[in-house]
């Protein structure tokens, strides 16, 4: 059985914030995809070593680049 360690999360508000919190508590590598990296609700995750990546959800290449190396989305 494999263990995943590299996650990308799209939508780190309501439900997503709980997922990010759990992953960070488990010492996983978490990348949060967002339109706006300055969102106040994302900053606590950044201080816990989550990576914030600004993406344009309408640009396929932007999404592909943000997901390189991730095991789970």
Domains and CATH numbers, the chain: 6-67 (3.40.50.720)
Q: Which residues, 6 or more positions from 18, have their beta carbon under 8 angstroms from its beta carbon?
A: none
What pLDDT is attached to residue 43?
94
Give the pLDDT confidence score for residue 2 in this predicted structure. 65
pLDDT for res 63: 94
What is the predicted pLDDT for the residue at 25?
96
State the Cα–Cα distance between residues 51 and 67, nearest whole angstrom: 12
- pTM of this prediction exceeds 0.75: yes
Sign of CA dihedral 9, 39, 22, 26: positive
pLDDT at residue number 12: 81
**Residue-level pLDDT at 60:** 95
Mean pLDDT per 10-residue section of the chain, whose length is 73 residues = 87 88 96 94 95 95 95 94
């Amino acid at each position: 059985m494999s263990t995943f360690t590299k996650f990308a999360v799209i939508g780190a508000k309501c439900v997503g914030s709980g997922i990010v919190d759990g992953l960070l508590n488990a010492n996983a590598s978490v990348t949060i995809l967002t339109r706006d990296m300055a969102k106040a609700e994302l900053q606590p995750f950044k201080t816990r070593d989550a990576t914030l990546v600004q993406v344009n959800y309408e640009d396929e290449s932007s999404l592909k680049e943000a997901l390189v190396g991730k095991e789970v989305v």
